[in-house]
Amino acid sequence: MNKILVTGASGQIGSELIPVLREKHGSDNVIASVHESHLLDEVDLTGPSVELDVTDKKQVEDIIESTQPDTIFHLASVLSALAEQDRQLAYKVNFEALYTILENSVKYGVDKVIIPSSIGAFGLDTPAVAPNDTLQRPNTIYGISKVLGELLGNYYYSMTGLDVRGVRLPGVLSWKVEPTAGTTDYAVAIFYGALISGKYVCYLRDDTKLPMMYMPDAVNSLILLSEADGSKLQHRADFNVAAISFTPAELATAITKRLPHFEMEYAIDPMRQAIADSWPDELIDDVAKTEWGWNHKYGLDEIVDDMIEKLSIKLQDKIG
Ligand SMILES: NC(=O)c1ccc[n+]([C@@H]2O[C@H](COP(=O)([O-])OP(=O)(O)OC[C@H]3O[C@@H](n4cnc5c(N)ncnc54)[C@H](O)[C@@H]3O)[C@@H](O)[C@H]2O)c1
């Protein structure tokens, strides 16, 4: 039996990872921990949920000690755009709490900790088409925290045996929970604009090409890596995973093919544009393919079709 604790469970990824984990491992074996109690209703309540502020060291210790998880999916994080606006919060959540989670995992005999990294772990010195192992000098507080997560993950594995694993996720598109704190959020918000008002004002330049992925692929990458045969892994917490790359203009064109009245305007946000400009255009994920059989399923057309279908139902009261 595999008992799993998920932090940041009510977020964009957690809210979609939890139902899949519960289906695989049984509802009672997957504990969803959320930051604020009012969000408890938002996570799938078909199994146990607890309130957890990961910056509260005692709470983290109490929950790991009392729930005795075999695996922790540590998703609690402050994402790129919010982290630049509130460095202190980002430091507490992305740096200090990460250490608390890892130390308590060692102390209470957790087997595995899965920590998503990000394209944010790359920087201006990284090639535009980024290999798995390359220069990483991010110039954002979020990116620095992601490199720390990768390095600490590899360190804890070699020094303590705690099996820390992680994928560098591209921007993730999904329809269930709307992202609000990242740099790639436009790629989701654009669908809300297209369906509700027929318009969207994009904060990134039309030619800003970034790696992106649909949520089912992102969830699958986390689960596949968590289940991979450890003896075959040369890397641990630092795998590129890729699906597609596109620009805002290309996404707008794909939406216009389905919703011909859609119009896109641009009002560039210098902070998010600078973050996006420091990230690679594409990730090469050959290492993940070789070491644990990763492959994505969804391309741009499949994503756009599914987003429009699902959001049309979700937003039916708001669509005129
Ligand atoms: N969504 C993406 O496009 C994307 C891309 C690359 C990497 N990632 C990574 O995936 C992970 C999950 O991201 P997400 O998209 O679900 O983000 P999200 O912002 O939707 O969710 C983050 C979660 O962290 C929780 N959180 C924040 N502060 C907390 C605290 N003090 N204690 C406990 N919980 C706290 C929030 O309540 C939220 O549920 C993060 O590590 C993120 O860096 C996400």
Residues annotated as catalytic are 142
3-state SS track over 87-130: HHHHHHHHHHHHHHHHHHHHHCCCCEEECCEEHHHCCCCCCCEE
Same fold, 4-170+215-240 and 173-213+243-314: no
CATH T-level fold of 4-170+215-240: Rossmann fold (3.40.50)
For ligand 1, is residue 240 a contact (CB within 6 Å)?
Answer: no
- H/E stretch holding 247 reads none
Picking from 37-41, 144-148, 273-277, which range would have the lowest pLDDT averaged per residue?
Answer: 37-41
Instruction: Quick: pLDDT tens for 132-182.
Output: 999 999 999 999 999 999 999 999 999 999 999 999 999 999 999 988 889
* Whole-number average pLDDT of the chain: 95
For ligand 1, is residue 8 a contact (CB within 6 Å)?
Answer: yes
pTM of the model: 0.97
Check residue 45 and give its pLDDT. 62
In whole angstroms, what is the distance from residue 250 CA to residue 205 CA? 12
Check residue 48 and give its pLDDT. 92
For ligand 1, is residue 215 a contact (CB within 6 Å)?
Answer: no
Separation of CA 13 and ligand 1 centre (Å): 7
CATH number for the segment(s) 173-213+243-314? 3.90.25.10
Residue of 34, 42, 72, 79 best suited for mutating to test ligand 1, as the one with most atoms within 8 Å of CB: 79
Alpha carbon separation from 18 to 9, 48, 57 (Å, rounded): 7, 11, 24
Separation of CA 44 and ligand 1 centre (Å): 16
pLDDT at 63 over 60: yes
The alpha helices in the chain, defined as continuous H runs, are 14-25, 57-67, 80-85, 87-90, 97-107, 141-160, 186-196, 215-227, 248-258, 270-277, 286-292, 300-314
The stretch 191-220 carries a mean pLDDT of: 98
Q: Where are the domains of the chain?
A: 4-170+215-240, 173-213+243-314
For ligand 1, is residue 193 a contact (CB within 6 Å)?
Answer: no
